[in-house]
Amino acid sequence: MISVKNLKKNYDGVTVLNIPFLDIKQGESFGLVGNNGAGKTTFFSLILDLRRCSEGKVFSDNLDVSQNEVWKEYTGSYIDENFLIDFLTPDEYFKFIAKINDISGHDLDNFYQRFTNFFAGELQNKKKYIRELSKGNQKKVGIAAALLGKPRVLVLDEPFSNLDPTSQIWLKNHLNELKSNNGMTLLISSHDLNHVTEVCDRIVILDHGEIVHDLQTSENTLEELEAYFAL
Amino acid sequence: MIRLLLRHQWFEILRHPSWNKNLTANIIFAILFLLMFLNLLALGLSIDKILEIINPDKNPVAVFNSFLLYYFILDFIVRLLFQGVPSLSIKPYLTLPVKRRLLIHYLLSKSFGSLFPYVPLLVLVPFTTKILLNYYSVEVAILWLISMFLLFHFVTFIVCYIKRKIVLNPSFVVGIVLLFVAAIIIEQYSLFSLSDVSVFVFTQFLLNPVFVLISLLLLISIYYLNYNYLSSHIYPEEFVIKQSGKNSIKEYEYFGRYGEVGDLISLELKLIFRNKRLKSTIYFMFAFLILAWPFYKYYMPEFEGKPKFVNYQQEPVNKTNSEECIVNFVVIPEIQPPLKQVTITGNDIKLGEWYPDKVPLHLSEDSTWTRSFIFNKNTKLEYKITGAIWDNEALYEEGIIPEAFNLTVKQDTTIMIHVKTWNTASEDVFLGSFLLYGTIFLVGAFILGYGQFLLGWEGSYFDLLLARKIDYTKYFKAKFVIMVISTLIIFILLLPAVIYGVTVLYFLISTLLFNLGFSTHFLLFMASSSATKMDLKAGLFSMQGKGGQQMLNVLIIILAPAIVYGFTASKFGSATALIIISCVGILGIIFHPLILNSAVKRFIKRRYILGAAFRQQ
């Protein structure tokens, strides 16, 4: 579904990301772990065509993401607050996202039903602008908007941070459900090794911009990861 | 401790992000600042002459004092709108072992740094040295100056207090402005004179220099009122400037029916009306439009060459004794002069002493112009006939301006003058350029304020625009539509200024076309050039995000047409010049899809650079 060839990103002559080859299959759930500065966000930004690749290309459904915009129709994403329009209320924001994705009012109602528990009565029908929400609630808005319309590909950067425990567990279950029922391709990054092993079938460890481990999740994965990251 | 706090204060100024701009931008701002400074200083230095012009018969000190109360009220209104109230900067210190009392004083003392009380000194100090010292002793003058200075600070703190304590909704400000306007109107009809009160109050400060203590007392009490308020509301959530609690969730549904462009327009409208910086831009724009009235009222008649008749009174024609003779002038023009007014002017005081606009003739039913005068016998007269200005002198043979007529008064006479045509005025090209420049500024008030930073306003959610399925052509179209609508609204609001001359209409229409066709497209095209994120929470006059590139865009939009006008008008006349300006606009409108496309292409090309810049800030 997503494949990367000879991908390099340089800043001022320093290579911050170097991935010769990576292929993420349709329906695969792909977890990216790594310490601060490993290049996780850079990698996701390149997949979403937010930054220019210094070398190489990113393909989504065999099409170069920087040359066409077809991928935007089936890709949901949330990286950070730069995805939020902070002077809208959450309802207005969802409505806006639904409109640009041609999602009908009926589907929007379904969406609210799906997320009732996640929103915990704090986001729907409230006259608060997104900028007035707590960090955790802002994150919920971003993640929910990324999931709006059940995209075929979902890219989330550290979705579990800032969320309360209930929401973390809910989100984990919801992602697993979407994976098995809808065959959604999932790309998430996380600092929380527990969560990422529970959601992802495949985990890649990134260190200083390079892939150092590419694991299929098994019972021992968590221990392997902990062993890797322990000093 | 105080020293440490002051040091931090110094760092805050020194490390303010607005210094981190490129050199050109800083130089441009320095020049603008210097210009403003010099303007005020010039006003201050010529204060004696200005006061004499305003009222030559009155004592200049009284004239000055009569304006002071008005100034204080105006100052109060302006500051309610624009003066900042230091609030959150002490937050990091609250959990440290620092005495709260000290922190409050620190917070309050920041207000002494407000620029507002210092600006009027540029006028007050010259007034004191040039005028006040002629009437009062040095001590009195200095004490008066100090009193005024303390009162300006008093206004600072009263505004701080109000802003901290109550929710400042627009109707409150509008109410005060209306009261102010009402006071001026009442003054005009001499029902109640605020300026008399002003004279009375501020003269007391000169008669009893001890009154400086009253100023001091006022300042101290308002300071302690602020202090008390803050000490009982020390938690940051309590003393931030109050905002009205209700959020607007207006949907701008109307545009929803226009598909994706409509959705993007309503998003943009929310952006404008829900963010302080853009909202205050709109308020400021409407305030700015008021300037159109004095602007056109003052300059348009001069441009159109309208005569300003002074001291004209119709004198009765009464023959009292035989030494006086009646001279009756009858002017029979083949065509009427451009300004539809015929005047006589000549060497005698009754003929206006060669002022062409002092002595109008009266139009009779048979389209001749007549007027009778009484002169003493043997008065030697020289006179000419004009169309109320020297540029429109009467011509007998085409192209030749005749010498003045001579007449020695011997008996009652009627003089018939046949006028073939009128000299046409050479237009004041410079004044026309200036009028066009002003009109572009007025009609473009919104697009110049908003359009400079078309993308920068949306810097905070730029990644969403890149990662989501948004049609960039429609995205740019939405911005275009907003600029068009706002320009049309301003155009309609300015239309009543046509009362100052039909030429206003020509200027407005060609400016409208120019702004719709050229300015909007130019700004759309240049939008991708400036990659500065605009902080939507900043104040109206904040320099945040403003750089040389945008300044250049604005200069091109306001200066280019004025220069083009200047060149063409001097060769082919004002009408042709305005038509050319309009044609530029019409061309832009015709090629709208083409320009929009190239603007979008440029945007797509530069999207990574823009995204990186917006993300970083």
Give the nearest partner residue to A128 out of B247, B470, B612, using CB atoms: B247
**Chain B residue closest in CA terms to A91:** B249
For the segment B495-539, what is each residue's pLDDT rounded down to a tens digit? 888 888 788 899 999 999 999 999 999 999 988 887 778 877 776
Instruction: Tell me what pLDDT residue B496 has.
Output: 85
For helices B472-494 and B259-273, angle between their N-to-C axes, nearest 10 degrees = 60
Cβ of residue B45 closer than 8 Å to a chain A Cβ: no
- Asked whether the beta carbons of residue A127 and residue B247 sit closer than 8 angstroms, the reply is yes
Task: Collect all residues of chain B within an 8 Å Cβ-Cβ radius of residue A80.
Answer: 463
Give DSSP secondary structure letters for A171-229. HHHHHHHHHHHH--EEEEE-S-HHHHHHH-SEEEEEETTEEEEEEE--TTHHHHHHHHH
Cβ of residue A52 closer than 8 Å to a chain B Cβ: yes
pLDDT band at A129 (very low <50, low <70, confident <90, very high): confident
Give the separation between CA A221 and CA A201, rounded to whole angstroms: 10
A12, A50, A80, best to mutate vs chain B, most B CBs in 10 Å: A50
Mean pLDDT for B301-313 is 54
Q: Where are the alpha helices (DSSP H) in B274-322?
A: 276-289, 292-304
Instruction: Look up residue B159 and give its two tokens.
Output: 């505004």
pLDDT band at B87 (very low <50, low <70, confident <90, very high): low
For the segment A39-92, what is each residue's pLDDT rounded down to a tens digit? 899 999 999 888 888 889 999 988 888 888 888 889 999 998 888 988 888 988
Q: Would you kindly state where each structural domain of chain A is located, as residue ranges?
A: 2-229
Cβ of residue B543 closer than 8 Å to a chain A Cβ: no
Cβ of residue A12 closer than 8 Å to a chain B Cβ: no
Element (H, E) at B375: strand B369-376
Residues B344, B361 contacting (CB under 8 angstroms): yes
Cβ of residue A106 closer than 8 Å to a chain B Cβ: no
- Above 60 in pLDDT, residue B181? yes
The SS3 assignment for A77 reads: strand
- Asked whether the beta carbons of residue A89 and residue B260 sit closer than 8 angstroms, the reply is no
Task: Collect all residues of chain B within an 8 Å Cβ-Cβ radius of residue A75.
Answer: 467
Cβ of residue B536 closer than 8 Å to a chain A Cβ: yes
Mean pLDDT for B141-159 is 92
Task: Collect all residues of chain B within an 8 Å Cβ-Cβ radius of residue A72.
Answer: 467-469
Instruction: Tell me what pLDDT residue B153 has.
Output: 93
Sign of dihedral through CA atoms B274, B243, B536, B276? positive
Give the separation between CA B83 and CA B155, rounded to whole angstroms: 11
Cβ of residue A77 closer than 8 Å to a chain B Cβ: yes
pLDDT > 90 in chain B, percent: 16
- Looking at beta carbons, which pairs linking A171-179 to residues 24 or more positions away fall under 8 Å? A171/A118, A171/A143, A172/A198, A172/A199, A174/A114, A174/A118, A174/A147, A175/A29, A175/A199, A178/A147, A178/A150, A178/A154, A179/A27, A179/A29
Task: Collect all residues of chain A within an 8 Å Cβ-Cβ radius of residue B460.
Answer: 81-82, 85-86
Cβ count within 10 A of residue B497: 21
Give DSSP secondary structure letters for B179-241. HHHHHHHHHHTTSS-HHHHHHHHHHHHHH-GGGHHHHHHHHHHHHHHHHHHHHH--SHHHHSP
pLDDT band at B312 (very low <50, low <70, confident <90, very high): very low
Element (H, E) at B555: helix B548-572
Least confident interval from A210-214, B458-462, B613-617: B613-617
Q: Which residues contact B155 (CB under 8 A, 6 or more apart)?
A: B72, B75, B76, B79, B116, B117
What's the half-sphere exposure (Cβ side, CA atoms, 13 Å) at B242?
Answer: 17
Instruction: Look up residue A163 and give its two tokens.
Output: 């969320």
| CATH 3.40.50.300 corresponds to the domain A2-229 | yes
Instruction: Tell me what pLDDT residue A221 has.
Output: 84
Residues B277, B537 contacting (CB under 8 angstroms): yes
CA-closest candidate to residue B395, choices B418, B422, B368, B415: B422
The whole-angstrom distance between B99's CA and the closest CA on chain A is 31
Give the separation between CA B382 and CA B403, rounded to whole angstroms: 10
**Chain A residue closest in CA terms to B617:** A82
Residues A126, A90 contacting (CB under 8 angstroms): yes
Instruction: Tell me what pLDDT residue B309 has.
Output: 43
Question: Which residues are registered as beta bridge partners of A5?
Answer: A21, A57
| Residue that is written with structure tokens 């602007």 in the block | B295
CA-closest candidate to residue B474, choices B258, B318, B229: B258
For the segment B105-133, what is each residue's pLDDT rounded down to a tens digit? 888 888 888 888 888 888 889 988 888 88
Mean pLDDT for B220-231 is 89
Give the separation between CA B275 and CA B278, rounded to whole angstroms: 6
Cα separations in angstroms, B401 against B132, B333, B354: 53, 15, 16
Q: Where are the alpha helices (DSSP H) in B15-136?
A: 23-45, 47-54, 60-82, 91-94, 100-109, 121-127, 133-135
Strand A210-216, strand A202-207: pairing: antiparallel
Cβ of residue B263 closer than 8 Å to a chain A Cβ: yes
Instruction: Tell me what pLDDT residue A202 has.
Output: 92
Cβ of residue A184 closer than 8 Å to a chain B Cβ: no
Instruction: Tell me what pLDDT residue B583 has.
Output: 93
Instruction: Look up residue B106 and give its two tokens.
Output: 């620190």
A9, A99, A101, A147, best to mutate vs chain B, most B CBs in 10 Å: A99
- Asked whether the beta carbons of residue A82 and residue B612 sit closer than 8 angstroms, the reply is no
Cβ of residue B259 closer than 8 Å to a chain A Cβ: no
For the segment B13-45, what is each residue's pLDDT rounded down to a tens digit? 777 665 665 666 677 777 777 878 888 888 888
Give the separation between CA B431 and CA B299, rounded to whole angstroms: 8
Instruction: Tell me what pLDDT residue B311 has.
Output: 37
Mean pLDDT for B367-385 is 86
Instruction: Tell me what pLDDT residue A121 has.
Output: 85
- Asked whether the beta carbons of residue A82 and residue B461 sit closer than 8 angstroms, the reply is yes
For the segment B543-570, what is each residue's pLDDT rounded down to a tens digit? 676 777 778 888 888 889 989 988 888 8
More confident residue, B314 or B236: B236
The whole-angstrom distance between B530's CA and the closest CA on chain A is 18
Polymer length of chain A: 231
- Above 60 in pLDDT, residue B103? yes
Give the separation between CA B174 and CA B170, rounded to whole angstroms: 6
Cβ count within 10 A of residue A155: 25
Task: Collect all residues of chain A within an 8 Å Cβ-Cβ radius of residue B271.
Answer: 87
Cβ of residue B611 closer than 8 Å to a chain A Cβ: yes
Strand A75-78, strand A29-33: pairing: unpaired
A100, A128, A132, A187, best to mutate vs chain B, most B CBs in 10 Å: A100
Instruction: Look up residue A3 and give its two tokens.
Output: 């494949």
pLDDT band at B318 (very low <50, low <70, confident <90, very high): low
Strand A185-189, strand A29-33: pairing: parallel
> Phi and psi for B116 in degrees, rounded to 5?
-55, -45
- Asked whether the beta carbons of residue B466 and residue A50 sit closer than 8 angstroms, the reply is yes
**Chain A residue closest in CA terms to B249:** A127
Task: Collect all residues of chain A within an 8 Å Cβ-Cβ radius of residue B604.
Answer: none
Residues B455, A75 contacting (CB under 8 angstroms): no
The whole-angstrom distance between A101's CA and the closest CA on chain B is 7
Instruction: Tell me what pLDDT residue B585 has.
Output: 92
More confident residue, A180 or B312: A180
The SS3 assignment for B72 reads: helix
- Above 90 in pLDDT, residue B306? no
Give the separation between CA B109 and CA B86, rounded to whole angstroms: 9
The SS3 assignment for B250 reads: coil
Q: Which residues contact B116 (CB under 8 A, 6 or more apart)?
A: B75, B78, B79, B83, B152, B155, B156
For the segment A166-222, what is each residue's pLDDT rounded down to a tens digit? 999 999 999 998 888 888 999 999 888 888 888 999 999 998 889 988 888 888 888
Mean pLDDT for A143-147 is 91
- Above 60 in pLDDT, residue B94? yes
> How many contacts, defined by CB atoms under 8 Å, are there between A and B?
75
For the segment B394-452, what is each residue's pLDDT rounded down to a tens digit? 777 666 677 788 888 888 888 888 887 777 655 677 888 888 999 998 998 888 888 88
Cβ of residue A48 closer than 8 Å to a chain B Cβ: yes
Residues A150, A182 contacting (CB under 8 angstroms): yes
Residues A154, A77 contacting (CB under 8 angstroms): yes
> Phi and psi for A164 in degrees, rounded to 5?
-75, 160
For the segment B480-493, what is each residue's pLDDT rounded down to a tens digit? 999 999 999 999 98
Cβ count within 10 A of residue B382: 15
Task: Collect all residues of chain B within an 8 Å Cβ-Cβ radius of residue A156.
Answer: none
Cβ of residue A80 closer than 8 Å to a chain B Cβ: yes
Residues B350, B373 contacting (CB under 8 angstroms): yes
Task: Collect all residues of chain A within an 8 Å Cβ-Cβ radius of residue B251.
Answer: 92
Residues 48-87 of chain B with CB under 8 A from chain A are none
CA-closest candidate to residue A161, choices A143, A176, A144, A146: A143
Distance of CA B577 to the CA centre of its chain: 25
Mean pLDDT for A99-116 is 86
Residues B510, B438 contacting (CB under 8 angstroms): no
For the segment A14-47, what is each residue's pLDDT rounded down to a tens digit? 889 999 999 999 989 999 998 888 889 999 999 9
Residue type, B98: V
Instruction: Tell me what pLDDT residue B360 has.
Output: 86
CA-closest candidate to residue B454, choices B364, B519, B366, B377: B519
Residues A226, A197 contacting (CB under 8 angstroms): no
In a 10 Å sphere around its CB, with 0-12 CB exposed, 13-18 middle and 19+ buried, how is residue B245 labelled? exposed
Give the nearest partner residue to B263 out of A49, A75, A96, using CB atoms: A96
Task: Collect all residues of chain B within an 8 Å Cβ-Cβ radius of residue A92.
Answer: 249, 251, 270
